Each structure stands twice: as structure tokens, then as C-alpha cells.
Structure 1
Amino acid sequence: MRSRRPLRRPTVITAVLALLSSALVLGATAAPAPAALPNPAGWNLVFGDDFNGAAGTGVNRSNWIYDIGHGYPGGPGNWGTGEIDYKSDSTANVSLDGAGNLRITPIRDGAGNWTSGRIETQRGDFQPAAGGKLRIESRIQMPNVTGAQALGYWPAFWALGTPYRGNYWNWPAVGEFDIMENVNGINSVWGVLHCGVNPGGPCNETNGLAANRACPGSSCQSAFHTYTFEWDRSVSPNQLRWYVDGQQFHSVSQSQLDATTWTNMTNHGYFVILNVAMGGAFPNGVCGCASPNAGTVSGRPMVVDYVGVWTAGGGGDPDPDPGTGFDAYATIQAEAFNAQSGTITEGTTDTGGGQNIGAANNGNWLRFNGVRFGTNPARQFIARVASGAGGGVSGLVEVRLGSPTGAVIGSFAIANTGGWQSWRTVPANIAATTGTHDVYLTFTSGQPADFVNVNWLSFAH
């Protein structure tokens, strides 16, 4: 029941966080043995992380992006929510426990400053095929703290429309599915849809369309529970549904919203987020106070057993020749081009390492042979880009089919991002595209100077 804003690349965290890492064990409860990632009948797993790994290590950066700071540069402060904590990539705040779980732990230092963690999937293409269904699920134990000591705790598991990346001001039109929210240690799970305009609109912003209930059996704080969201395009009108431990407690029908609002919310993919905020509009509104306060206890983690995303039914994305070319909906590394003109290849410091293409300027291009879009049209292009261009230098990153001089089916503008290795993920709408094509990434600028590096690209429905 809030607006949220994602994503910033890691920055240097003060050494005190490392000294506080031992605080992870304080106040934490012994967790049950982790569950295996489910394999629900009729569903196909498209993304999963069971958080297996050595105790004290971070998450798999090929799956996850760490969000850093108090907000995305150029976006609203305090992540648009009023929360007061600083999000870090320190293992004091975000780490595996060695028993198959992820722990996101808010910590208050001696000066009263809070740090916490927030991660989001690298992938932003989660959506059902036409006539199909999408399922997003996690097994979570909320921070085990209640009463006055819990004031300000705000754990959440949610998904945000991918067009938010690179814009940061188009919320709530791009859509937000809050699969699990909780505040102040109350034994309740909230499920919320955000959409339309803010304030007011068809989703009653900034509150959203919400429902809540107590966790079945044991409390949300004392035990693991499974939180599930389904987006169902196999029925008419389409349905959004929320579950806890398999029990439905909230739904929104396509018929409840006007056609424009529904389309703006559903014509693109989503990415998944896990975080624990401290303070902000939701916990403050529920308690009628300013939170956290001096009585709020530090160091109680949200414990996450797994995250999974599944699809079922629908037209899918047939891949008649998986041995050649590129899958449009997978990450296509820029350096994997089949041909190029005018660019260079260099090492990158971006997540996962490897290489990027660089020195792209007006008239340069990259070609990727046999990109397979399938029969469910792609309507969005996404690229990971960076720029250290000088003042006044900018350009367009464009997508063309079949020729470097063919019609542009989609593009976005890019200027200085803070450096040639200062990366951001930028989406753009494209003309509906199906079938298999040679895709050209072309670069157009009114200045002759280099204006962009590219790490990877992808497409989404």
C-alpha cells in the first residue's frame, strides 16, 4: 500500500556494516529445513532461486540486482515510500544463511542510522502468454518481531512493471503487484494492486486495491508461509489473484478497470523484488506514529526459502530452431553480435563481468542473426547501456529488422549516465514483432562523438 521505486547500482558501504555482520544472528529464529522449489502440476518453471550457497555470501548476481541507496538517481527520494533506511549490498544486510535461505536484515548503527537490503530480478520479462497464466511465488518467514519492538518493519515481496526501469516517474500506470506486504509485526499479509494514476484513479492511489488476512495456522512472524500471485489470461475477463498457503484472499478482475488502465498495466513484462524497508507511509499510517523509533529492535531478518516464476498454457513462444540464432526473450549479450560496424569490444565492470561493446556513435551498428520472436508478439525492447559522453552529446539506440537502413521499429535516447561503466537498464516500446529476423541495433546521433556502450539486450511481450 505504497509507491515504490527500484534499482541503483552498488556503491561503497561504510566499514561499520562489516563489523555489524555478526548481528545477523541476534534475534533470528532457527528456520525449518528449506523446501525444495515446487513443481506444481501444469506449470512450467521459467525462473527459480532456492538460495543455496555458503553462509555469509551474497546472492547470485546473474539472477539479482542489488538496489542501493535511498532511491534511484533521478527518481523519487526514499524510494518514493518515505522509508528511512539505506539499501546496501553488504552481507550484513543481504546474505545466504548456508541452510538454503536468504536473509534480508535491517540494522541500526550506534548513531541511529538504519541500513537494509533490497534485490530485484535481472529479468524483467515475466508475463503470461496470450491465453496463458503466470505464477509468482515465494516461501517466506517475516521478521520475527512483534509489538512495540516491530514498529517500522516493512517486509515485502512484489513485482513492478519493467517500463519503470529507465523512467522512474511512470508509476503507478506501469502496474505493481504486491504479493506479500506486512508492517509493524502484525500477523497479517496484505495483497495490493497499484495501477492508473496517482492520486486517486481506478486503483484508489496511493492505497491501491488491497485485501489482507492473518496467516493460516501459525503467525506470519513465527513460521514460513507461501505467498503466491497468479495473473490469468486464460479466462475472460482476465483475473489477478493472491494466495497465502494456497488460500485465496484477494482478486481483481479486468472488468473492474477501464480498458486503457488495464492495457497500460499488462502490455509488458514485470520484474520481482524482495526487500525490508524501515519506516515510511504504510507503517506510519497503520500505527499513527513516526517509525521506527527508539524502541524498535534491530537485526530481525526476513528469511526467504525460494522464489519461483512459472507459466502455463497460452500460445507461448514456439522456437522451431533452437540450435541457431537467438531467443528474443533471453538476454542477448551485445558482444555476441554476428557482424558490426564501427564499435569496439571491451571488458565490463557491470554485473556478471564479461564484455560490452563500446565506442558506438552515429552510423555504427550491430547485427544479430536469426532472432526468434515466436508467435506471441514482442512489444518492448530492453537494453543495458552506459555513457560517458560529454555535455550536449546524446543519441538514439534503435532497433531495425533485416537491414541497418530498414525502418526503425523502436528506439530510446541516451546521454551521459555518469560514466562509460555506469550502467542502467532502459526499455522502449517497439512495433509488434513476430517470427524470426536478423535484428540490427543501430546508433544515430547529431554529433560525431561516441555516445553509448551496450552490455546486453532483450525483448518482451
Structure 2
Amino acid sequence: MRLRSRVLPIALALTVTGVVAVTVSANAAVPSTPTGWTLAFSDDFTGANNTLPSGANWIIDTGTSYPGGPANWGTGEVQSFTNSTSNLKQDGAGNLVITPIKNGSSWTSARIETQRTNFTAPAGGILRIEGRIQMPNVTGAAAAGYWPAFWALGAPYRGNYWNWPGIGEFDIMENVNGINAVWGVLHCGVNPGGPCNETTGIGANRACPGTTCQAGFHTYRFEWDRSNESAQQLRWYVDGTLFHTVNQSQVGSYWGQMTSHAGYFILLNVSMGGAFPNALAGGATPTGSTVSGVPMKVDYVAVWTKGAGTPPSSPPPSSPPPGGNRDAYTAIQAESYNGNNGVVNSGTYISALRNGDWARFDGVNFGSTSPKDFVARVASGAAGGVSGLIEVRIDSATATPIGSFAVANTGGWTTWRDVPGNVAAVTGTHAVYLTFTSGQPSDFVNVDQFLFRH
């Protein structure tokens, strides 16, 4: 668990000592996609030595909190996250390396999260998030306070930072204090208490098979199974061995709260100190015996989906007019899209739009005369300095835009403004893409409707 304190039962021997020196397993490529599955995302961290991970895939968190969010990342951890290659780098051998470092009495480390926030199980299908990771190879007193983690947070947390645990949290791999164990935990509902017994969560742990969690790489996998929509299930694995399961019935009415939004984003980090390591150590961590500079190594992260259907965050769009054509010159409701990436369907508009998101509208008929411009009804409660472009593209989300306009804060997320933008010539019937581009990772706009004008 990453956002609040908790103590989970542990059925493990805790007496281990020293820094273990072993030969690390060779780098392995992202596994080939199994039959029946589709690869949704992967990063093999094959960049040159001493380079940061791909900015197209990852956001690097810095400091001791999100802007305006809970202090010390909500857990009481003591380090400050940086974007220095001393704390975060690719090693040139196919690994991402996150290294906590003590500087005098202070600690620095690193934390990254995916740009994408829409990892979700398709209707009637399965989401699989997997990483091959070696925990920091340190144990005993020297490991006091080490807190590596591989986890996922619900999309609405980004930009809000105060709606945990309702948005959901899947802790795929957690470990503290160099104990030979992996914890898998679900956080949900309300805090304190609720169906997930917050701040504890619904969790389980087990020792790593074969080599200890610290002495070698292990594969940590999480699955969200929607193959039975009325009896969904969450599952946690280490090296292919199931060790924790949560059924939909255990969560009750709160299940929809954590599964009906756009999806999840994935995080990797090594924290130092905080509620979880302190609780298992029986006192404050790190201590004077804690050693500096022992990294977590990540071989790959990959996401697969199995099955097909509209994601739960995207209610079925309304149908276009008979004949498959929409009139380009009549208002098109934004929530009636036929396809999307990263869009949250709020019922009467689309929301939480950020860099890389798009919505597709099929069968838009421009006739034989090109429009002179388009108008979109938009609203934004984005923070100062956060803005972006709404673009119109034809037949492909990566086609050159035929028109665009910039938008920033309009006074609130439902304070609507009709904003025009010029467009290039287009006739006939096409799929129209609204795409969203920004230099910041934050949500910057909601869209109610749009139309073109002669």
C-alpha cells in the first residue's frame, strides 16, 4: 500500500542479515504475447547507460508530494524523489535502476508513473499487468526502511490527490525492510474502514519462489478478470504462482466506484521509511544501520488484455444517424464517440482529457463544400500554466491536424465556452478524430459537443 499506513499479517521469518552479493539473472526481453492476448503497453528499458526512461511512456515524480497533495506522498516516507540519473536511470543492460541514496541526514530516490491512465479490463475480458523485478538486494538491519513497489492507481487520482481509496489501488508488488516476501494488496472504498478495511487494505503475502525476492529477479503479475461481469475477480501472482485473490462480492457496491472510471496508471518506486516499514520494524526507519545505494532493478513492464468490448469507463456511445452518416454541420455530442483513447465518458460530455487522448466519430458527412471553421463547447478547471490544444484530424489519430485551438482554464470543469477554430478543406464522409495535445501530463479540458460551420 502506498498512500496510507497499514500493518498486514506476515507469516515469515524476519531474522535476516547483511547485504547479499550474488550474480543477477541475465536481462530478459518482454515475453511474446500469449495466444488470445493483445499487447497494450510495454517497456523493456533498453536505453543507453545513464539515461532516463522514455518520456513518451513515463512521468518522473519529484519532491515529497504531488502539487497540493498529501505531504510525504501520504505515507510518512522520508525521501525526496528526483529526476537525477544517480537515483533513476537505464543501465545499458536492459534494466531500469532506481537507487535510494543517503546525503548527510537526507535521502533521495525515484518514482515514475505511466503517461497513460487508461489501463483497464475490456468488457468480458482480462487485464494483465506484469513486471520482472529484482528488489533491492539488502536484508536485515541494513535494509531498514527500504520500500520498493510496483503498483497501479485509478485515473481520477491524477490531478485530484484527495480521492483515495475510492478510485482504487492495486499493489502488485510491495516489500519492506528486505524481508523475503511479496505483498499484494487492494485498496478501495472509504477511509477508514469500508469493504477494504482501510487503511490496511485486503492483502496477502508470501515468500518468493526459489531465490529470495532480494537475491534475484522475479515476475510479478496482476490480473483483473471481467469474464463474468457479475462475479469479477482480481488476482496476484509471483513467478506464475497465484498467492492472492479478491472477488467482486468482497467489495460490494464499491466495486463500481473503482472500476467505472477511465482505468489505471502504473507506478514504480523505492521509498524510504514511512508507515509500512516502520510498523514491521517496530520503530522509525531508516536507521543508522540502513545502507545507502542499493537499487531496485526492473527488467520490463508489460500490459496485456484478453477479450473484447467497451471498457467499463466508456458507456456504449449513441449511434450515428441512419445510413452511418453524421451531419458535420449539426452539433455532435462528444459522448457519442465510436472509439477512444484515454477518454472518460461522463454521460453528457467527455472529461479528464489530456495529452495523447483522442475520440473518434465515424461517418461524419461534410458534403461537397468545405467548412470554414469548427466550434467546440469546452470547459476547463486546469491549474495555472496548464493548457493544451484541441485538434481535428481526419481518418487517423496521427494524421496532420486540419484545425485546432488552444484552451486553458475557463473558470471550472463545467463552465462551458464555445470556442472556434479554423479548418482546412475537407469534403465527403470521414471519421473525425478529436485529439488532445499538451506539454503537461495533467487533464486540461472537458468537451460537451462540436460542429463545423460553412
Give the TM-score, by structure 1 length: 0.70
Supply the distance in 2 between the matched residues of 1:189 and 1:157 (Cα, whole angstroms).
Answer: 10
Q: How far has the Cα of 1:114 moved from its partner?
A: 0.2
Residue 330 of structure 2: aligned partner: none
Q: Aligned pair in 2 of structure 1 residues 369, 51: CA closer, same or farther (>3 Å)?
A: closer
Supply the distance in 1 between the matched residues of 2:44 and 2:451 (Cα, whole angstroms).
Answer: 37
Equivalent of 1:302 in 279, 296, 299 = 296
The C-alpha deviation readout for 1:200-241, integer Å capped at 9, x for no partner, is: 111011110000000001100000000000000002400000
Aligned partner letter, 2:126: K
Supply the distance in 2 between the matched residues of 1:367 and 1:285 (Cα, whole angstroms).
Answer: 50
Equivalent of 1:78 in 72, 79, 85 = 72
Residue 411 of structure 2: aligned partner: 394
Query: Cα RMSD (Å) of the superposition?
Result: 3.8
Supply the distance in 2 between the matched residues of 1:218 and 1:253 (Cα, whole angstroms).
Answer: 30
Q: Aligned pair in 2 of structure 1 residues 137, 192: CA closer, same or farther (>3 Å)?
A: same
Equivalent of 2:155 in 156, 159, 162 = 162
Equivalent of 2:141 in 132, 148, 156 = 148
Supply the distance in 1 between the matched residues of 2:202 and 2:259 (Cα, whole angstroms).
Answer: 16
Supply the distance in 2 between the matched residues of 1:273 and 1:112 (Cα, whole angstroms).
Answer: 26
Consecutive unaligned residues in structure 2, runs of 5 or more: 6-18, 317-323, 325-336, 343-353, 361-370, 377-386, 398-405, 422-437
Contact 2:99 2:270 in 1 (8 A): yes
Residue 52 of structure 1: aligned partner: 46
**Is residue 188 from structure 1 mapped to residue 181 from structure 2 by the alignment?**
yes
Supply the distance in 1 between the matched residues of 2:196 and 2:447 (Cα, whole angstroms).
Answer: 27
Partner of 1:311: helix, strand, or coil? strand
Supply the distance in 2 between the matched residues of 1:66 and 1:333 (Cα, whole angstroms).
Answer: 17
Q: Aligned pair in 2 of structure 1 residues 439, 83: CA closer, same or farther (>3 Å)?
A: farther
Equivalent of 1:328 in 333, 337, 340 = 340
Contact 2:388 2:444 in 1 (8 A): no
Q: Aligned pair in 2 of structure 1 residues 307, 333: CA closer, same or farther (>3 Å)?
A: closer
Give the TM-score, by structure 2 length: 0.71
Contact 1:160 1:272 in 2 (8 A): yes
Consecutive unaligned residues in structure 1, runs of 5 or more: 6-25, 343-354, 358-365, 374-384, 405-420, 432-437, 442-461
Equivalent of 1:257 in 251, 260, 268 = 251
Residue 362 of structure 1: aligned partner: none
The C-alpha deviation readout for 1:108-130, integer Å capped at 9, x for no partner, is: 01x21100000000000000111
Supply the distance in 2 between the matched residues of 1:129 and 1:65 (Cα, whole angstroms).
Answer: 25
Residue 226 of structure 2: aligned partner: 233
Partner of 1:328: helix, strand, or coil? strand
Supply the distance in 1 between the matched residues of 2:249 and 2:447 (Cα, whole angstroms).
Answer: 27
Contact 1:370 1:439 in 2 (8 A): no
Supply the distance in 1 between the matched residues of 2:76 and 2:128 (Cα, whole angstroms).
Answer: 30
How many residues align? The count is 358
Residue 279 of structure 2: aligned partner: 285
Identify the range of structure 1 (40-49 vs 76-85) with the bigger mean alpha-carbon deviation. 40-49
Residue 34 of structure 2: aligned partner: 40
Partner of 1:310: helix, strand, or coil? strand
Residue 176 of structure 1: aligned partner: 169
Q: How far has the Cα of 1:84 moved from its partner?
A: 0.3
Q: Aligned pair in 2 of structure 1 residues 195, 369: CA closer, same or farther (>3 Å)?
A: same
What does 1:14-25 correspond to in 2, within 5 Å?
none
Identity across the alignment (%):
57
Supply the distance in 1 between the matched residues of 2:106 and 2:183 (Cα, whole angstroms).
Answer: 27
Equivalent of 1:136 in 108, 111, 129 = 129
Partner of 1:283: helix, strand, or coil? helix
Aligned partner letter, 2:157: Y
Supply the distance in 2 between the matched residues of 1:179 and 1:399 (Cα, whole angstroms).
Answer: 40
Q: How far has the Cα of 1:426 moved from its partner?
A: 2.6
